[in-house]
Chains A and B, each alone.
Chain A
């Protein structure tokens, strides 16, 4: 689609805003509608739009396979690791109240961190699924 000038310009213009909106949904998730899953999908859709307009190969240069793979694993580890931290701080697994001296602040930090993990994993998985389908002819 790279010969469509209007599409290219608009996509370039929109992508930063999509990403920004993704971050908003991510970090505003504990006050309003949103959270890691939705944010991850929105964030990944920015990459997918980029790949649709500028080609899958170009997109792969921006986010190489190893980044996607690391992202998938890292998000899970952040989520589970939060649980381990609360264990080490004397609470039960995933008991966010144990994360800080003030239980409310602990709950706040806990949900923010695990949602970040969810966001990273979802964004990476979405990108990976898109690449897997888009790159089907590549390997034959």
Chain B
């Protein structure tokens, strides 16, 4: 029927068009089923694209039949095919989780709106990743941001509204800065297509317009990806959003922003300009190291586990950015690999929190006593995910930190390697705090017998899919590290 040449556009159109269908259907079950079809369809397409690209090189698609520099081009190469796969994969797994969780936290009467906003958010994120046009990227960024404000505000806690509003303000500032940057580039070059931009900027690096555009883009994207110290919107947003939304957003939204960062600095501006003429490498690495330590330390003192994991996300974004800041093939490979691994780990951990919220009604650390007995599977999932966060061997977190240390040593920066290891010790502290509470302290302080209150399978299975995946990619790194290497080579133009 529809040939695989159309996969890049179908990747976006499938969730985008099924979102209004959810609104028309209205029933919670029907809407869920539609959203499930859309998200798994999108995942299938993403995997097919990844294989196409790894085997046959970049794929380009002209929307509306208008060719590249004039029309909107969708362009998939090794870098974004890899990001597409992880985003669509998380989107699909979280959708299984969403049915029970949404029924519990949002209610059937508004569920169809949730699924519709979720699909729009997914379509926006996939669109950001797949597009080869700098302005079109902004449009998709807004689609995903606007729908994620809605998703966050659906949280049960009233503070969710405040968190969504805070994110709305900062997110809009970030998007506006991005737009100003793109506008300035358009003024200098007269084009919006990324490949065309890259060519035309060459030779004009000394223009002040290019420098200002670079600064606006850097700050705008850093806000979106919650790079320390621009992360203030993130902890509240993740802590008060519905569980399914936190799981989805933590694993995708910031990751897609990281991809935008890679695309802008490596493809549009080029390594020589971004890291040679501009002091981007130094800035990124200092901020990344600050994030690793500051955010991890703050995480240790959080009492709500969702909030703790949110701060931990800020720290983990630090690791990703650290790798990118090195601007070497191994460094970028480590960054992209950690993007992938962290999405699985953090997605799994937040879904485990969703299981706990479902059964116990709280994710506060004082309510987690005796959880090892009450919810053994969920608690085990948390432990496995926590090991990944710390970076214990045989988990995905270890693999990406290993590559990160390798990249640091390759540059001769042994002290960076030491800092990576030291900051991992902070992760041990905050993960252990929860594990101790779960396994070594009785429920509620009283000695009464605790009954099993395990989460339903509809929640446990998707949680464990992500956790098992995070262990799988900790042992068999051929696919993840290989694809990340291809992505790094593509971005650095060495492949």
Contact = CB atoms under 8 A, between A and B. Distances in A.
Contacts of A92: 6, 9, 61-65
Contacts of A70: 23-24
Given A74-B24, A87-B6, A80 B64 contact: no
B24 A73 contact: yes
Interface residues of A, number: 21
Which one of A70, A77, A88, A97 has the highest number of Cβ atoms from chain B below 10 Å of its Cβ? A77
A84 B13 contact: yes
A40 interface: no
B2 A74 contact: no
26 contacts: A69-B23, A72-B23, A76-B17, A76-B19, A80-B13, A80-B17, A81-B17, A83-B13, A84-B13, A84-B17, A87-B2, A87-B6, A92-B6, A92-B9, A92-B61, A92-B62, A92-B63, A92-B64, A92-B65, A93-B6, A93-B9, A93-B61, A93-B63, A95-B64, A97-B65, A98-B65
Contacts of A81: 17
A125 interface: no
Interface in B1-15: 2, 6, 9, 13
Contact of A88 (B2, B16, B21, B61): B2
A73 B9 contact: no
A91 interface: yes
Interface of A: 69-70, 72-74, 76-77, 80-81, 83-84, 87-88, 91-98
Contacts of B64: 92-96
B278 to A, nearest CB: 37
A131 B23 CA distance: 18
Interface in B454-481: none
Interface string B6-46: 10010001001101110110000000000000000000000
A73 B20 contact: yes
Contacts of B17: 76-77, 80-81, 84
A121 to B, nearest CB: 9
Contact of A77 (B6, B21, B65): B21
B2 A72 contact: no
B469 to A, nearest CB: 32
Q: Which of B9, B17, B20 lies at the interface centre, i.e. has the most chain A CB atoms within 10 A of its CB? A: B20
Grouping DSSP codes into helix (H, G, I), strand (E, B) and loop, the B interface class, with mixed when no group exceeds half, is helix
A73 B34 CA distance: 14
A42 B6 CA distance: 37
Interface in B52-90: 61-65
Contacts of B21: 73, 77
Q: Which of B9, B13, B16, B64 has the most CB of A within 10 A?
A: B64
- The 5 tightest CB contacts between A and B, nearest first, are A73-B20, A95-B65, A73-B23, A94-B64, A93-B9
A72 B63 contact: no
Nearest to B5: A92
A69 B110 CA distance: 13
Q: Which of A74, A88, A93 has the most chain B CB atoms inside 10 A of its CB? A: A93
Contacts of B65: 91-92, 95, 97-98
Contacts of B63: 92-94
A72 B20 CA distance: 8
A93 B24 CA distance: 23
Given A73-B21, A84-B17, 5 more contacts: A69-B23, A76-B19, A83-B13, A92-B64, A96-B64
Nearest to A91: B65
Nearest to A94: B64
Nearest to A78: B20
